[in-house]
Structure formats: C-alpha cells, structure tokens
Amino acid sequence: MSPVTPLKEVADIINEEGGEALRLCYQCGTCTAACPWNRVRDFIVRRIMHQGQLGVTDFEDEAIWLCATCNNCVKLCPRGVEIIDIMRALRRVVTELGVAKVPDSLRLTIKNISGVGNPLGEPEDKRAEWAQDLEVKLYTEGTEILYFPCCIPEYDPSVQKVARATATILKKAGVDFGILGNRANCCGESVRKAGDEGVFQRLAQNNISTLTELGARKIIVSSPHCYHTFKNEYPALGGNFEVAHFTQYLLEIMKQGRLTLSKEINSKVAYHDPCYLGRHNDIYDEPREVLTSIPGLELVELPDHGENSLCCGGGGGRIWMETKSGQRFSDIRIEQALKLEADVLAVACPYCMLNFDDSVLTMDKGDVIKVRDIAELVAEAL
Amino acid sequence: MGNEPRIGVYVCHCGSNIAGTVDTEAVTEFARSLEAVALARNYVFMCSEPGQEIIRNDIREAGLNRIVVAACSPTMHEITFRRVLEEAGINPYLIEIANIREHCSWVTEDRDLATEKAKALLGAAVRRVYYHQPLEARRVPFTPATLVVGGGIAGIQAALEIADAGDKVYLVEKEPSIGGHMIQLDKTFPTLDCSSCILTPKMTRVGSHPSIELLSYSQVEEVSGYIGNFKVKIRKKARYVDAEKCNGCGLCQEKCPIKTPSEFDAALGKRKAIYTPFAQAVPNTPVIDTGHCTYFLKGKCRLCEQVCEREAINFAQQDEIVDLEIGSIIMATGFGVFDPTPISRYGYGRLDNVITSLEFERLVSSSGPTGGEITLKDGAAPQSVAIVHCVGSRDKNYHEYCSRVCCMYALKYAHLIKEKLGAEVYNYYIDMRCFGKGYEEFYERISGEGTIFIRGKVGEVTDQAVSDEEKGKLVVVAEDTLLGVLTRVPVDMVILCVALEPPPDAEAVARLFNISRSADGFFLEKHPKLDPVATTTDGVFVVGCAQGPKDIPDTVAQASAAAARVLALISQGEVEIEAATAIVDERICSGCQLCIPICPYSAISFDEEKLVSRVNEALCKGCGACVGGCPSDAISLSHFTNEQIMAQMEGMLA
Ligand SMILES: Cc1cc2nc3c(=O)[nH]c(=O)nc-3n(C[C@H](O)[C@H](O)[C@H](O)COP(=O)(O)OP(=O)(O)OC[C@H]3O[C@@H](n4cnc5c(N)ncnc54)[C@H](O)[C@@H]3O)c2cc1C
Ligand code: SF4
Ligand code: SF4
C-alpha cells in the first residue's frame, strides 16, 4: 500500500455538499455493525466516514452507491452523525462534479424522471390510466382528500393493484377524494438521496406549486417515501401540507366508524416495517392495528421488526440499481417470513412490494407466500 | 468622603479578551465625557496587583469616592475590587462593575458594535454608582453542625473527617444501611482490594462515632436558611423495629415467610419482607418493607413479632420528624445506573445472560446470590464472555458524557473471569481510558492475561444463529475497526457496562437544596477547575458521583476536600452575609402582611404594636421578593433601590 496524504480540498467539498456532520464521527463502527449490507457483503460504513474526514474517498468505488438509506446506522450512531446525509453528499460530489461515473441504470432512471416525471419513462398522460374504470375524479379545490399514489402504483402494472385497492376503499368509506392525474410528478425522495439535488428541487417545486394552486390540504399517500418528502422535506421549500400515510388514514376512518371490515381473511400475516414509515418516521403501530382489525387474520412478527426492521434494499435509489443475486436483503426477509410459516408478507410501501415480489419469484416460492399491500388486504376484507 | 460623587472609571483590556474586540481607548474617552466622572483610565489587567494599585492610588490622590470597573463578570472579581476600595479607605459598596467581557466582547464579533455596547454598559454603571450608599457587611454566627446527605463512600468519608475533628455531623441516608454502590462491588480496580474489606471498617466507625448522628432510612424534606444557619426537616421513616431493643440477631429475617428481589443483589437474589440489606449493614437494625409484609398488606402474620425475644418489633411505630440547625451541607447522593432496555438491539431483558455490570458485580461477589460463582441463568459456567463498553455513555441517544469507570472495571472483570473460570473474554471498546495512577499498568497487566480486545462499539447482540457454531449462543456483532471487518463472536454471557447517571430524583433534590445541575443532570460545581466541590449556593458542597461519574479515589479526594472546606468555615466561627437587605418604610406600610409568606427565608415578622411588617436583617438575604410583592411600595432593597435601578436603565439607554 502506498502512503496516503489527507486531502483537505476534497474534505471541504464533501462538507459543502452537506457532509459537515462527518466531523463528529469518532470511528466506533456501530454503523458498520448496524448496516444490513454486512449480512450479505462487506460494507465498512465507518471507513467511508473516515475517508470523508480525510478527503481520501474513492469516488470510483461502488461503495458510494450501496447505502439504501434505511436509517439503521443513523438511529444508533452515538455521535449523532447523519450518515445518510454523508452518503448523499458523496453522491452529489460524483453527480455534480463528475469526478466518477454514476451507475448506468441509475443515470437512466434519473433521466426518465427528469424528462417525464416518473422513473419508468412512461408518458405523462398515462399516469391516471390505473383509475380509468374506477370513476376517480380529478382533485379540485374544496375536495376533502388528495390521494397521491406514487409513480410505481400508478405506472407499474404489477403494483397498480395497490392504487386500485386504495381508491376502492376510499369510495366504499364515502371519502370525498381526488387525484392529480397527469399533473403529478415523482416526489423526488429517492432522486435526492441518489445525489441529484437539481432534479429533486425541480420536482419538488412543481409538486408544491400544483398542490398549492389546487388548494390541497390533506394528502394521503401510499408510499412512505412520498410521506417522508411531503412531511419532512417540502416544508423547507415552502410546501406545508397535512400528510398521512394510507395506513394512518385507514385507522382514522375505521375508528370513526366509516369503514367496517366484515370478511374474514384466514391467513398468517407477517408485517414488514418499511424503513421510511418506521425508522424514518416512527410509524409502527397503525399498520399493525389495521391488520389486526381484519377478522380471522393472524399477525406474526418477523425476527427483525419495528425499529430493527430489515430493509428491503430499495431505498436511496437502490431500487433502480442492480443488486447481485445473493446480496438481496429481500431474499433474507422472505426466508424469515417462510420460517414463520406466514402465508402473506404484508407491506406498506411500493418499493418493498417490488423487491419482495422479485425475491419470491427468483426463489420460486410463489405457491407458499404472497406479498400483499395492506390496502389490498383491507379491500378484500370489505 | 466629600458629598459630591467623584467617580473613577477603569476599563480593563483583559489581555486581548476584551481589547481584542472592544476599543478600550474609545470607551475610556467616552467615560471621561460622563457626568461626575473625575477620571478614567484603561489598563491591561485591572485585577492584577499593579491594576489594583492604580485604583488605590487614585482614591487617595484624586479624592475619588465612587468606582466603576468595566471588566469581567462581577462573579469573578467584584470581591477583589471591593477589597481594594476598603484598603484605600472608602466603603466597599461604592463600586459598580460593568461586565464588558461575558456580556460584550465574548459574545459580539463586530468591533464597532462591541464598542458601542461596552459604552452603554459602562454608562449604566456610572449612573448607578452615583446613587450607591455605604453599606456595612454583616457577620452572623456559624452553626458548627454539618449535614451530609447520602451515605455512600463519599458521604462516609466526609462525615468521618469532620467528626474526627470533633464537630457534629448528621448523616442522612435514604436506604436502611449506609454503604452506597461501593458496598455492592466485589473487588475494586486498580488494586483489586476487596471492596467490603476496605469499606466496612469505615461504616462501623460511622455507626459508633460519638460525633456522628446517623439518620438512616431517612429523607430530607425541607431546607431553609443560608450558609451558617440552615434549618432542615428530616423524615425518619418508621422501621417498625425498635433500634434500642434490637440486637441484630436476625431471627426475624430467618422466619419471615415473604421473599422478594433484593435491591442490594441487583434483583439477582432474594430478601425477606423484614430485612437488613446485607450482613454488614450499618445500622444493623432491620426494617419492615410495608409494600411486601403480609401483616401490612392483609392484616395477618406478625411472625417476626412472635420470634423476637427482645420484643423489638413495633407495628405501631410512626415516621419521626427531626428538625436540625446546620451550618453547612454536603451533598453526596451519588449516582444511578442506566437501564439498557431501550437499546433493543442489545437484548437486555429479552435474552438470558445479557446482564449489566452492576449485576455482574453481585454475581462475582462472594457475598452475592451465587456465593461468587459466575454462572449463567441455567447454572452452568460461561466459557466465553463479551464485555460491552460505553452502554448508554458517550452516546448522544442517551448520555453524551463518558462514565469514567467502565473501561477500568471492564478490565477488572476480564481479570476476575480469567481467574475464576479461565473463560475467553472479549472486551469491546471505543477508546481505552485508563488515565489514573496505576491504571495504565493495570491495563497492561490484564492484556498480558490474554483478554481479547476488539476496537468497535457493539451494534447488536442476537440469538439468531447463521452457523452451527452460533447455535444456542449469544452472537455479538461489531466491526473490528482496526481490521475494518465485521466480526460475529458467539459467547455465553454478555456484560453491558452501563452508564452512571444522575439518580432519578436528582431534579427534586436539586430544587430542595437550591443548587443547580449541569446539562448532564449531575449537580453543578461552582467552578469546574478552581472550585470543584462548592455549589452555586454558599455553604452547600457536592462530592463524589453526585457531581459526575468518578472512581473511588476521586470520590474520596473530593469528600476530604469538602470536609476541609467545612472545617475552615466552622473554625472561623461566623460568616459574612449580604449587606444588601430589605427595609420596610414604616410610614407607608399598611400592615397587610402580604410580604410575610413571600419571603423564602422567613425574615419578615409582624410588629403587633406598630402594626407594620419588619425585616430581620440577620435573616434577610436581599433577594428582593418582598419588594416586588408589596402593594404599597413600602419595601425597598438597599443596593437595589428604585433610584439606582432607574439610573442604570437611563444610562444604558442614553
Ligand atoms: C459496576 C460498577 C463498578 C465499579 N467499580 C469500581 C472499582 O472497581 N473501583 C473504583 O474506584 N470505582 C468503581 N466504581 C465507581 C464507584 O462505585 C463510585 O466511585 C462510588 O460508588 C461513588 O460513591 P458515592 O458515594 O459518590 O455514590 P454512591 O455509591 O451512589 O452513594 C450514594 C448514597 O447516597 C444515597 N442517597 C441518594 N440519594 C439520596 C437522598 N436524596 N437522600 C439520602 N440519601 C441518598 C444512596 O442511597 C447511596 O447510599 C464502579 C461503579 C460501577 C457502577
Ligand atoms: S456510528 Fe457514527 S460515530 Fe460510529 S463510526 Fe459510524 S458514523 Fe462514526
Ligand atoms: S442507512 Fe442503512 S444502508 Fe445506509 S449505511 Fe446506514 S445502515 Fe447501511
């Protein structure tokens, strides 16, 4: 090994890109031990922190792109280092200064989002196709609820069932709601974590001005990632809306007696806490309460649950990057659910659904376990 | 003193502390323009001997009769400058300090703005001092008895040193016995002497010392008064055992049918409903725990009463209230230990054989529930043990500070485990902090015994095995940060080195004794370097872990230091108290008596003949509460008169 000299200039750039918290790191390694990557491969988070402190980061290394922003490490870091912000800062250095290559699939997705407002690169006017036969109205001023499904349930044929189930439930409960139709944009959460601040800012501004113009007050989302952005990131940009995850809203209307679940679902269901609902936003109980109010349903807990939930691997833009087989956290999760002999792995996030569906398929377990969104289960129990 | 005020103004540079930000020359020039200012100077260090001499000289030569020093906070040097005035022959209260350091140069970056602010502060001081009146400091007798609160090693040491000098000590301990945490420890680092062997002789001396009155199973309920003259009310909880009659035979404890977890054994062992916490308890009189005693819960039993030959059991005993007059107070209330349950990833409370350090102390102690055998829940001996440092310490999520003893007792554990079992020991550390005398040598010695050190904070303790080797074990997951690899180590037992934290009632206790706490929740010392055992309240001292985590050597050193401070006060025989007191203008007082309950020092009484309120100058602390409370504006506070305060405000805004 050749000797290393600290590069103050590089360290300064990382700081400017939002990595100041790095200075507090005292190299204890808790983050490494907390990070799910180390269940499947080496990912020495602490070393990345120290490289950043010294300005000797290897920007060519794929390690920069691994973090799934699951928040495990941040929750445990004894020095309060915002490790995800550091990872984001490193990615920004690559994206904005071009010091290395952005992974191909990620670059392509961001291009799609930047061009047509969704990661799949689908035309904007097809955004509301999922709702065509459901008679869902477009949101107009004065409507009680704005439903913001997220690009995946809107465009991805395998996840559209989630948006459809949600709309069905809302109608059944007599909720006055509307959608944005083709005026919606990707919320930008993952784009930002992937390091493209410019595209994020543009998406956010578009959404905020559309929502403000329409006088939206209460927004219901299907994706915890949208929830996170609306709740924690848009306010700093001037967008202040009341936002609830669909599971929260479900519980609310169930408690008001607007919705009763009468059909039994006699399944053993394991609930997977999404990182952005649980660790990022401390929502653990509502999804469980909704599930247990379904007659017949038996809820079981996965070994890593609640604040220690195992990430599906889809955050931080990872959903758009290739993960080698044998390194997918979602495979471990499915194994955990199988060990519990659960018939259903219940999810509350579109990314989780994509990843778990994929694992079930590649593991060839489709006949023993199904991945289902809580909205689907509730719609079935109506 | 001439009648017309002749004010001298002195602007201090404080090296570059003030002059670096404030234009001291401009401030001096400004002072010269103010009414009644006879002269103004600036100097590099006003508090230095030459600085003081300038003032003394000017007072004598230029006939100054009022002084303003624009310098650091009055808490630093007001006393110094008052003495200067006295030495130069004028009344020490004819001075005003303008704080242009803490209130100005240290908190203002812009030089022009800082200079303007310094002028405003100085202007205010000059106007105020114009109205100062000579006051006489008062001296009151100092009560030579001392109250020590808390009977751990800190309180024991302080009590013995004061009592050995022949002065009276009241030692209040809330538990049935003194001893604190130290009596729970097995061996103590770095010398590995047996804790109870070195502590019990001291405890016995406390119990029999003619100058110490031990109030165990007691709590302070009220504190009033001030240095030299505190009044305290103490509740002696009923033990239901007559201490005069009981000879400590222990028959009652043997016969009592009720068992409950023993606090002394960290709930690893059991005690009875009538109990002494441990064999060498001082006092050796048992107490009945009414929360568990069948007689108190259900009205039946009284077995202990039947077996006690000396008829010492007394179910009718009542709490007793003791009123004491005290000169000074030593706070030695110690620490609590952090409950690691919230760190769910460590599995405490969920996984068997994940235990805290205090539990391990009891497990390894020959007086403990296993007689000193280190065992797992199932009784087997562990073959491998992981010791996790910094649990709840050095962690923003819990306590940011370092608990200062864990690295060292972790080494002690490594030694004890090796010695007793020869088991594999893994120490997971972030930094080894072995800074005391003989500590680094201890570290070296334990390293030589073959303990494995892994530099990394543990991320998880799990029972989810990923290999056969891990089956049925506790797996400790941590990065070895020196190798840069993730390690998984299967062990039989995990010891969590839990943080030392303020006792749960620290806030209430601080309020009761009118002392402050630092951000970490421990009691605040007056000055971290130069006055480490005093508190912000005169006459109240703090020692041992009540002030912050520390080891036994440091605790004992502080206890001795506080004892010396108390003995110095006692030997002076009297104390000087605040000259500024409240005065009732009898012509205006309507006799409504509203002020009487307002006074926190009970200094106001009612003159039944003249039908007016009257302030007892010896008791008045000059807090001014009554001044604000009087609806007729009949009370004024010397040194804080309306005239002085209005002038100060006018000067500030001029
Ligand atoms: C697991 C562990 C191992 C340790 N090992 C060592 C070692 O090997 N060597 C070493 O040097 N140090 C060691 N220490 C540190 C040592 O325990 C402390 O330095 C020492 O106990 C401090 O004594 P203290 O009197 O200040 O506090 P404490 O021991 O906590 O005593 C305080 C006393 O005050 C009483 N009290 C509290 N509040 C009130 C109240 N309001 N009114 C009346 N009474 C009250 C308590 O009941 C207690 O008796 C260890 C600490 C721990 C946790
Ligand atoms: S957990 Fe925090 S302090 Fe520890 S190495 Fe990671 S970033 Fe640094
Ligand atoms: S946020 Fe999650 S994936 Fe990213 S470094 Fe931390 S633990 Fe690993």
CATH number at residue A70: 1.10.1060.10
Residue A105 lies in a domain: no
User: Touching check for A306 and chain B: CB below 8 Å?
Assistant: yes
Q: B271 and B300 share a domain?
A: yes
Q: Which of A30, A71, A301 has the highest number of chain B CBs within 10 A, making it the mutation to test binding with B?
A: A30
Of B431, B460, B464, nearest to A33 by CB-CB distance is: B460
Is B293 within a domain?
yes
Asked if residue B125 and residue B25 are part of one domain, the reply reads yes
CATH number at residue A352: 3.40.50.10700
Atom of ligand 1 nearest to the CA of B154: 25
Same domain, A247 and A157: yes
A324 and A295 housed in the same domain: yes
CB within 8 Å: B480 and A29: yes
Look up the CATH number of the domain holding residue B30: 3.40.50
- C-alpha–C-alpha distance, residues A68 and B320, integer Å: 64
Percent of chain A's residues with pLDDT above 90: 93
Number of domains in chain B: 5
Residue A27 pLDDT more than 50?
yes
Q: Is residue B649 part of a domain?
A: no
Is the pLDDT confidence value at B1 over 60? no
Same domain, A273 and A372: yes
The model's pLDDT over A205-246, given as tens digits with 9 standing for 90+, comes to 999 999 999 999 999 999 999 999 999 999 999 999 999 999
**Domain enclosing residue A296, as ranges:** 261-381
The model's confidence at residue A19, banded by pLDDT at 50, 70 and 90, is confident
Report yes or no for ipTM above 0.95: no
Question: Per the domain annotation, does B248 fall within a domain?
Answer: yes
Cβ of A166 closer than 6 Å to ligand 3, yes or no, is no
Residue B654 located in a structural domain: no
- Please list, in sequence order, all residues whose beta carbon lies within 8 angstroms of the beta carbon of residue B640, skipping any fewer than 6 positions away: B580, B622, B624, B627
Task: Name the more confident of B58 and B622.
Answer: B58
What is the pLDDT, as a whole number, of residue A3? 83
* pLDDT tier, B578 (very low <50, low <70, confident <90, very high otherwise): confident
| Least-confidence region, from A82-86, A252-256, B622-626 | B622-626
What is the H or E stretch that residue B571 is in? helix B552-572
**Mean pLDDT on B596-624:** 89
* CATH number where B529 lies: 3.50.50.60
Q: What is the pTM of this model?
A: 0.88
A381: exposed, middle or buried (C-beta count within 10 Å: 0-12, 13-18, 19+)?
buried
Residues A93 and A138 occupy one common structural domain = no
pLDDT of residue A329: 97
Whether residues A247 and A220 share a domain: the answer is yes
Residues B73 and B115 in one domain: yes
Same domain, B121 and B171: no
Same domain, B329 and B202: yes
Shortest CA distance from A48: residue in chain B: B484
Q: Which residues of chain A does B394 touch, with a Cβ-Cβ cutoff of 8 Å?
A: 26, 78
A70 lines ligand 3 (CB under 6 A): yes
- Could you give the CA distance from residue B354 to residue A103 in angstroms, rounded to a whole number? 44
Q: What is the pLDDT of residues B201-247, one digit of tens each?
A: 999 999 999 999 999 999 999 998 889 999 999 999 999 999 999 99
| 3-class secondary-structure state, position B53 | helix
- Beta strands at B540-542 and B500-501: parallel, antiparallel or unpaired: unpaired
DSSP string, B94-131: SEEEEE-IIIIITT---HHHHHHHHHHHHHHHHHHHHT
What's residue B654's pLDDT?
A: 86
B614 and B601 co-located in one domain: yes
> What is the pLDDT averaged over residues B313-321?
97
Q: Is the pLDDT of residue B2 over 60?
A: no
Tell me whether residue A60 is in a domain.
Answer: yes
- Residue B552 predicted with pLDDT over 60: yes
Do B278 and B211 share a structural domain? Answer: no
**A283 occurs within a structural domain:** yes
Residue B647 lies in a domain: no
pLDDT of B441-496, one tens digit each?
999 999 999 999 999 999 999 999 999 999 999 999 999 999 999 999 999 999 99
Considering the domain architecture, whether residues A186 and A286 belong to the same structural domain is answered as: no
Query: Which among A202, A219, A253 is the end of a domain?
Result: A253
For B596-641, the three-class secondary structure string (H helix, E strand, C coil) is HHHCCCCCEEEECCCCEEEECCCCCCCCCHHHHHCCCCCEEECCCC
Residue A151 lies in a domain: yes
Residues A58 and A176 in one domain: no
Mark whether A139 and A208 lie in a shared domain. Answer: yes
pLDDT band at A1 (very low <50, low <70, confident <90, very high): low
Cα angle B544, B549, B550; round to 5: 65
Of B394, B395, B458, Cβ closest to residue A33: B458
A111 assigned to some structural domain: no
CA nearest A26 in B: which residue? Answer: B430
Q: In this structure, is residue B1 part of a structural domain?
A: no
Q: Closest residue (by CA) to atom 8 of ligand 2?
A: A25
Nearest CB partner across the interface for A78, out of B344, B345, B394: B394
Q: Are A200 and A83 contained in the same domain?
A: no
Between chain A and chain B, the number of residue pairs with CB atoms below 8 A apart is 71
User: Residue B139: is its pLDDT beyond 90?
Assistant: no
Whether chain B has a CB inside 8 Å of the CB on A305: the answer is no
The whole domain housing B108 covers 7-129
Beta-carbon separation of B390 and A77 below 8 A: no
Per the structure, the count of domains in chain A is 3
| Residue B103 located in a structural domain | yes
Each residue's pLDDT tens digit, B517-545: 999 999 999 999 999 999 988 999 999 99
Are A78 and B396 in contact (CB < 8 Å)?
Answer: yes
Q: Which residues line ligand 2 (CB under 6 A)?
A: A 25-31, 45-46, 49, 73, 77-79, 81, 83
> CB of A339 within 8 Å of any CB in chain B?
no
Q: Does A79 reach chain B within 8 Å, measured CB to CB? A: yes
- With the C-alpha atoms ordered A126, A113, A200, A284, is the resulting torsion angle positive or negative? positive
B218 and B176 in a common domain: yes
Q: Check B486 against A46: CB less than 8 A apart.
A: no
Same domain, A122 and A240: yes
Last residue of a domain, one of A64, A97, A130: A97
Q: Are residues A237 and A286 in the same domain?
A: no
CATH of the domain at B588: 3.30.70.20
Q: How does the average pLDDT of chain B come out, rounded? A: 96
Distance B48 CA to ligand 2 centre (A): 47
Q: What is the CATH number of the domain that holds A188?
A: 3.40.50
pLDDT of residue B622: 87
Residue B648 within a domain: no
The ligand that comes nearest to the alpha carbon of residue A276 is: 3
Asked, for residue A288, whether it belongs to a domain, the answer is: yes
Are A120 and A215 members of one domain? Answer: yes
Q: What percentage of chain B reaches a pLDDT higher than 70?
A: 100
